[in-house]
Amino acid sequence: MIHVSSTPPAPVCILGLGLIGGSLLRVLADAGRPAYGYNRSAATVDAATAAGYDASTDLQATLERAAADDAVIVLATPVPALNAMLPAIAAHAPDCLVTDVVSVKETVTRLVEQHHPRARYVGGHPMAGTAHSGWEATDPALFDGAMWMVATHDDTDPADWLTVAGIARAAGAYVVPAADDAHDRAVAAISHNPHSTAAVTASVGAGESDLALRLAAGSFRDGTRVAGTAPDLQRAMLEGNAVALLNTLSETIDRLTAARDALRDTGSVEVVVGDGHRAREKYEAIANAAPQPIEGVVVGDAGWAGELRRQAHQGRVWIG
Amino acid sequence: MIHVSSTPPAPVCILGLGLIGGSLLRVLADAGRPAYGYNRSAATVDAATAAGYDASTDLQATLERAAADDAVIVLATPVPALNAMLPAIAAHAPDCLVTDVVSVKETVTRLVEQHHPRARYVGGHPMAGTAHSGWEATDPALFDGAMWMVATHDDTDPADWLTVAGIARAAGAYVVPAADDAHDRAVAAISHNPHSTAAVTASVGAGESDLALRLAAGSFRDGTRVAGTAPDLQRAMLEGNAVALLNTLSETIDRLTAARDALRDTGSVEVVVGDGHRAREKYEAIANAAPQPIEGVVVGDAGWAGELRRQAHQGRVWIG
């Protein structure tokens, strides 16, 4: 059993104030938690400051402040920026607990091991986003009821895990404990693959004629929505999860090929439509019901991490 | 130039009172136009009658009434039911103008030629629908601002065309003139293909684990929405447009395979993401702007049908 301190929660230092990082700064600060952020863009920092938030363009000063007040550092930049961010943390705030909100977990874990091998690091990933990006798109309600993966391995420090999970909960999200590789396969299947099929579906529709786009209604509008996400953000997500995405793309191609061949040879799309309908019903049953809490686990007890992961694979969430 | 009569518009007789046919009955009757319907289900007819609409379960009596008041007959049943409906029209209301709201146009045209070869027939297809079906899902605003294809061939009778286009306009829709084959290719590209990719995307996501469905957010929710449509309705749509759908499925498979191979061989998804983003932007430019009207064509003048089709291929609509 972990000793739960009655001292105030640690300050949170957020590096990167785009949609995710900026929304996190807003929801935490709005709730009265000490929170401040860094962004390299003066325009973003000016906008955040004008809105009453504590933000700076000075990375070293921000990290020295985090070291001084033992803040939790949240990496909220695109993956490529981590190559500069992590060495700076290792230099100026080496003892701070580090988490991140940067999508694919095996990639971030590898970069942490490379650039800041002594880091206290517990990765995370909130499943929240829109087709928009940047500070102007931030919303303190962005995480409300969202799922927030927190990396949960057999060697994860339980006190650090509770601190990171507590940030997710403070932002209004449910905590989904998972191992890095399971998370990365899951997001390939339910995010990066949908981005890929949306892009291709949009291209096929637009390739037909303006008549086709003129006739397009709900199925095309909703099915291709995420193809409108900024291409560089999509590339960073998809290419950063290449191995898992290769598997889901291959399965997608196999299923579409089977559907095409069945339609050609038998005139029927019964299997693809039936499978898709059952899958959607299963999703709706999970998405529309109140999340079932993980039960009977004390974080820090023997086997806690494995038991959290096991229950998460049943679709359950940790609510503390 | 066609003589436009100042007599009241013809009554409308709608065969099938599901989502589309029922919504059409409601919007026309609500606007004061003589309109009545047939449905084989007593429960549907009872619901329509209780709501104040003129409906019957007696097909022959309904058709005799249509013959007596020279109504326009609107086929609004699933395709299989047309094999019984069309011979009944040929027997009891052979001289009535017939149109339809039954998706794929080459299929319906072939059934009309087979079962009612002397029909005055001008096909149609409103691009409106939801994942729900049946009278309880009807909505008189369903067609408001929607696109409504009206079959426009070189041998189409211009007065009959104007009558059918007038029904679409009375329902609140814009008229998109098109040939049957161009329409069927277009809906394969912007509706039947999106249904296919939604089904496959849902299956790949659900096949991963309940953890994956637990983490699913907006991209999965919107990208798989239409997979929730009743499987028999989806099958009827997709299998009814098999030839055109085979082509778009093959193009979809080719594009996904190219994306998979590029990701595997170069680590990049630049092409698929970029193409998809441009396609989505093109769609949004067409969908979000006020429709541009077809101009400079008098229906019935030499070459009118070809000129309507040509301007529709530019994304323009006929507003009368």
Q: Assign B96 to helix, strand or coil.
A: coil
Q: Please indicate whether residue B206 or residue A5 has the higher confidence score (pLDDT).
A: B206
Question: So what's the pLDDT on residue A209?
Answer: 84
Q: Which residues of B touch A216 (CB under 8 A)?
A: 127, 190-191, 283, 286-287
Question: Per-residue pLDDT averaged across A267-291, rounded?
Answer: 96
Q: What is the pLDDT of residues B48-65, one digit of tens each?
A: 999 999 999 999 999 999
Across the interface, of B225, B259, B313, the residue whose CB is closest to A249 is: B259
d(CA A297, CA A320): 10
Q: What is the pLDDT of residues B237-278, one digit of tens each?
A: 899 999 999 999 999 999 999 999 999 999 999 999 999 999
Using DSSP bridges, classify how beta strands A174-178 and A147-151 pair: parallel, antiparallel or unpaired. parallel
B240 in contact with A, Cβ within 8 Å: no
Question: Comparing C-alpha atoms, which of A127, A174, A175, A173 is closest to residue A150?
Answer: A175
At A1, the pLDDT band (50, 70, 90 cuts) reads very low
Inter-chain touch A273–B129, beta carbons under 8 Å: no
Query: Helix axis angle, A270-288 relative to A242-266, nearest 10°?
Result: 140
d(CA B239, CA A264): 10
At B6, the pLDDT band (50, 70, 90 cuts) reads low
At B1, the pLDDT band (50, 70, 90 cuts) reads very low
What ipTM was reported for this prediction? 0.90
Q: How many residues does chain A have?
A: 320
Using DSSP bridges, classify how beta strands A12-15 and A35-38 pair: parallel, antiparallel or unpaired. parallel
d(CA A319, CA B70): 67
Beta strands in B9-96 (DSSP E): 12-15, 35-38, 55-56, 72-75
Domains and CATH numbers, chain B: 12-178+289-312 (3.40.50.720), 184-288 (1.10.3660.10)
User: Distance (Å) from the C-alpha of residue B308 to the closest C-alpha of chain A?
Assistant: 12
- A63 sits in which H/E element: helix A59-68
Q: Which residues of B touch A194 (CB under 8 A)?
A: 201, 205, 219-220, 223-224
What letter does residue B8 receive in the DSSP assignment? P
d(CA A151, CA B128): 44
At B129, the pLDDT band (50, 70, 90 cuts) reads confident
Q: Assign B252 to helix, strand or coil.
A: helix
Q: What is the pLDDT of residues B207-239, one digit of tens each?
A: 988 999 999 999 999 999 999 999 998 998 899
Is the CB of residue A107 less than 8 Å from the CB of residue A113? no
Mean pLDDT of the residues in chain B = 95
Question: Comparing C-alpha atoms, which of A261, A301, A19 is closest to residue A137?
Answer: A19
Task: Count CB pairs under 8 A between chains A and B.
Answer: 393
d(CA A104, CA B61): 65
Per-residue 3-state assignment (H helix, E strand, C coil) for A122-163 = CCEEECCCCCCCCHHHCCCCCCCCCEEEEECCCCCCHHHHHH
Q: What is the pLDDT of residues B79-126, one digit of tens each?
A: 889 999 999 999 999 999 999 998 799 999 999 999 999 999 999 999
At B133, the pLDDT band (50, 70, 90 cuts) reads confident
The widest CA-to-CA distance across chain B, in whole angstroms, is: 70
CB-CB neighbours of A33 under 10 Å: 17
Inter-chain touch A222–B218, beta carbons under 8 Å: no
At A256, the pLDDT band (50, 70, 90 cuts) reads very high
Q: Is the dihedral of CA B40, B41, B42, B47 positive or negative?
A: negative
- Prediction pTM value: 0.88
Question: So what's the pLDDT on residue A79?
Answer: 86
Beta strands in chain A (DSSP E): 12-15, 35-38, 55-56, 72-75, 97-100, 120-121, 124-126, 147-151, 174-178
Q: A299: which 2 tokens? A: 């974080």
Question: So what's the pLDDT on residue B132?
Answer: 72
Q: Which residues of A touch B268 (CB under 8 A)?
A: 235, 239
Q: Is the dihedral of CA B28, B30, B33, B39 positive or negative?
A: positive
Q: What is the pLDDT of residues B146-183, one digit of tens each?
A: 999 999 999 999 999 999 999 999 999 999 999 999 99
CB-CB neighbours of A163 under 10 Å: 18
Q: A234: which 2 tokens? A: 């999509």
Token pair 């863009």: residue: A41
Using DSSP bridges, classify how beta strands B124-126 and B147-151 pair: parallel, antiparallel or unpaired. antiparallel
d(CA B213, CA B211): 6
A104 class by beta-carbon count within 10 Å (0-12 exposed, 13-18 middle, 19+ buried): buried
- A309 sits in which H/E element: helix A304-312
pLDDT above 70 (res A5): no
User: Distance (Å) from the C-alpha of residue A41 to the closest C-alpha of chain B?
Assistant: 26
Q: What is the pLDDT of residues A94-116, one digit of tens each?
A: 999 999 998 789 999 999 999 99
Q: Which residues of B touch A212 (CB under 8 A)?
A: 185-187, 189-190
Question: Comparing C-alpha atoms, which of A275, A284, A271 is closest to residue A315?
Answer: A284
B268 in contact with A, Cβ within 8 Å: yes
Question: So what's the pLDDT on residue B131?
Answer: 63
